[in-house]
């Protein structure tokens, strides 16, 4: 039986189709985020160690390229985020991936430390165009309210598997080729997978873009709230949280980017090291899922103390326990769960412990120094490795940092109770 040409599907069927299309788009975006994180972020330690072995570069000098990239990423967020807010998210992410792919292809021919710096400096700049910050903005400009929150949460679960997939892939490529082959392949992945998926992203909803612009103009026209950034800067809780997040970011970033060579130095085989690194991503996902289940039962400050306290436990285990694969695995899971959970703690601490007013300005004021310290930490860790003559000295420094982060959260708890 033929349907009349003017027949339209019932509203519930059209809504179901739209929902299915949205889920498919988020799934593709999740796949692209796995590839973007795996190639632009997690690939550095393995590529750096292989290049150092070929050129006899110093570790502290080599890891300076990572510091440069992370610094540029921190400062690139504002102009790139502004372009995405104007509805250009699809083009920004597409060209960001294509440019990253071309840079890796060109970088496969480099033969100098200067070229290495230029490559990873540019790659770091493109982090803001391709990783979570860009993807979250694209989702916010396409979906509204609860849909946006739901899709962002789903995307973080996808992204958590980037290290699990790409660290063993890169290790396999290094064993069957060299770091130049790795760069060529991850360059093609950025162009042919990430670039194509980002190009097929749905356009930004012009109504939502206009709405965001109007809301921004309205906020700018209103009088400054009583609890604004100037007010926050006078609160001891602000500085306590800033110091804690900075210490936590410095310790975890230094550890994460040096874990590959650290475990090799401790005597594990390359295969065992990759096995340890593979559990970090799923552990982050597990940490976020557990937090979602018990979100109402625990305050952010108590969760912060608990999460920060995991760091000295992990670092002490690697420093003083026997270096055996099955002994290290539980502590790798603990580290992954702690870092995954802290992402949510950091986003919720300001409104819960300080104020819900001027959230963007206060959070932005915290982010710049935190990202700067985070960018410097891998190079400082490499310098400590040189001075101490190995990673045992670095682990001892990280233990102290972990204890300090826990104490800062405890102090923030006392200041918060005193304020209330």
Question: pLDDT (tens digit, 9 = 90+) per residue, 160-171?
Answer: 889 889 999 999
Query: What is residue 285's predicted lDDT score, i.e. its pLDDT?
Result: 85
pLDDT given for residue 255 in this prediction: 96
Length of the chain: 420
Residue 352 or residue 208, greater confidence: 352
Is the pLDDT at 19 greater than 70? The verdict is no
Asked whether residue 3 carries a pLDDT value surpassing 50, the answer given is no
Residues 235-273 have pLDDT tens digits of 888 898 889 899 999 999 999 999 999 999 999 999 999
Residue % of the chain over a pLDDT of 90 = 49
> Would you say 141 and 205 are in contact if contact means Cβ atoms under 8 Å apart?
yes
Mean pLDDT (the chain) is 83
Say if residue 328's pLDDT is above 90. Answer: yes
Q: What pLDDT sits at residue 152?
A: 72
The mean pLDDT of 325-353, rounded to a whole number, is 84
Q: Are 96 and 130 in contact (CB under 8 A)?
A: yes
Can you list the domains of the chain with their CATH numbers?
A: 24-210 (1.20.1250.20), 228-420 (1.20.1250.20)
Q: Does residue 261 contact residue 386 with C-beta atoms inside 8 Å? A: no
What would the mean pLDDT of 1-8 be, rounded to a whole number? 45
Residue 53 scores a pLDDT above 80: yes
| CA–CA separation, 141 and 206 (whole Å) | 8
- Considering 50-59, 150-159, 294-303, the range whose residues carry the highest mean pLDDT is 50-59
| pLDDT at position 41 over 50 | yes
Q: Are 364 and 228 in contact (CB under 8 A)?
A: no
pLDDT at 181 over 90: yes
pLDDT at residue number 252: 95
Q: What is the mean pLDDT of residues 287-311?
A: 77
The predicted structure's pLDDT at residue 17 = 43
Mean pLDDT of all residues in 174-178: 93
CA distance 124 to 130: 10
Under a CB-based contact definition with an 8 Å cutoff, are residues 361 and 231 in contact?
no
Count the Cβ atoms, other than its own, within 10 Å of residue 359: 13
What is the rounded distance in angstroms from the CA atom of residue 380 to the CA atom of residue 375?
A: 10
- In tens, the pLDDT along 123-159 reads 999 998 998 878 877 777 776 555 766 777 678 778 8
pLDDT at 221: 47
Torsion angle, CA of 163/122/31/344, rounded to 10 degrees? 60
Range with the lowest mean pLDDT among 35-49, 272-286, 344-358? 344-358
SS3 content of the chain, % helix, strand, coil (to 5): 85, 0, 15
Q: Band of the pLDDT at 200, cuts 50, 70, 90?
A: confident
Q: What is the 3-state secondary structure (H, E, C) of the chain?
A: CCCCCCCCCCHHHHHHHHHHHHHHHHHHHHHHHHHHHHHHCCCHHHHHHHHHHHHCCCHHHHHHHHHHHHHHHHHHHHHHHHHHHHHHHHHHHHHHHHHHHHHHHHHCCCCCHHHHHHHHHHHHHHHHHHCHHHHHHHHHCCCCHHHHHHHHHHHHHHHCCHHHHHHHHHHHHHHHCCHHHHHHHHHHHHHHHHHHHHHCCCCCCHHHHHHHHHHHHHHHHCCCCCCCHHHHCCCHHHHHHHHHHHHHHHHHHHHHHHHHHHHHHCCCCHHHHHHHHHCHHHHHHHHHHHHHHCHHHCCHHHHHHHHHHHHHHHHHHHHHCCCCHHHHHHHHHHHHHHHHHHHHHHHHHHHHHCCCCCHHHHHHHHHHHHHHHHHHHHHHHHHHHHHHCCHHHHHHHHHHHHHHHHHHHHHHHHHHHHHC
Q: Quick check: 411 pLDDT over 70?
A: yes
Number of Cα atoms under 13 Å in the Cβ half of residue 407 = 8
């Amino acid at each position: 039986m033929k349907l009349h040409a003017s027949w339209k599907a019932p509203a519930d069927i059209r809504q179901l189709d739209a929902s299915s299309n949205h889920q498919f788009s988020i799934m593709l975006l999740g796949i692209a985020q796995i590839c973007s994180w795996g190639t632009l972020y997690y690939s550095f330690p393995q590529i750096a160690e292989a290049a150092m072995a070929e050129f006899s570069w110093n570790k502290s000098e080599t890891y300076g390229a990572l510091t440069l990239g992370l610094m540029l990423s921190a400062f690139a967020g504002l102009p790139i985020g502004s372009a995405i807010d104007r509805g250009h998210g699809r083009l920004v992410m597409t060209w960001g991936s294509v440019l990253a792919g071309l840079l890796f292809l060109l970088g496969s021919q480099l033969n100098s430390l200067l070229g290495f710096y230029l490559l990873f400096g540019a790659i770091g700049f493109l982090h803001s165009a391709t990783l979570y910050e860009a993807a979250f903005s694209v989702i916010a400009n396409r979906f509204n309210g609860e849909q946006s929150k739901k899709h962002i949460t789903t995307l973080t679960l996808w992204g958590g598997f980037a290290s699990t997939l790409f660290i063993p892939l890169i290790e396999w490529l290094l064993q069957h080729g060299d770091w130049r082959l790795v760069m060529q392949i991850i360059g093609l992945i950025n162009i042919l997978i990430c670039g194509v998926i980002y190009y097929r992203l749905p356009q930004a909803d012009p109504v939502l873009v206009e709405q965001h612009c109007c809301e921004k103009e309205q906020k700018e026209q209103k009088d400054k709230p009583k609890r604004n950034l100037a007010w926050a800067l006078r609160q001891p809780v602000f500085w306590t949280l800033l110091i804690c997040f900075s210490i936590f970011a410095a310790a975890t970033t230094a550890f994460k980017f040096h874990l590959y060579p650290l475990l090799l130095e401790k005597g594990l085989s390359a295969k065992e090291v990759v096995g340890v690194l593979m559990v970090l991503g799923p552990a982050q996902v597990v940490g976020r899922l557990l937090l979602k289940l018990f979100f109402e039962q625990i305050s952010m400050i108590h969760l912060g103390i608990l999460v920060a306290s995991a760091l000295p436990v992990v670092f002490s285990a690697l420093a003083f326990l026997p270096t055996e694969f099955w002994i290290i695995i539980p502590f790798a899971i603990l580290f992954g769960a702690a870092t995954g959970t802290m992402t949510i703690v950091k986003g919720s601490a300001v409104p819960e412990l300080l104020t819900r007013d001027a959230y963007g300005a206060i959070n932005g004021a915290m982010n710049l120094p935190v990202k700067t310290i985070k960018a410097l930490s891998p190079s400082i860790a490499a310098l400590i490795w040189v001075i101490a003559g190995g990673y045992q000295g670095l682990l001892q420094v990280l233990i102290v940092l972990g204890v300090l982060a826990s104490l800062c959260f405890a102090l923030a708890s006392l200041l918060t109770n005193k304020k209330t």
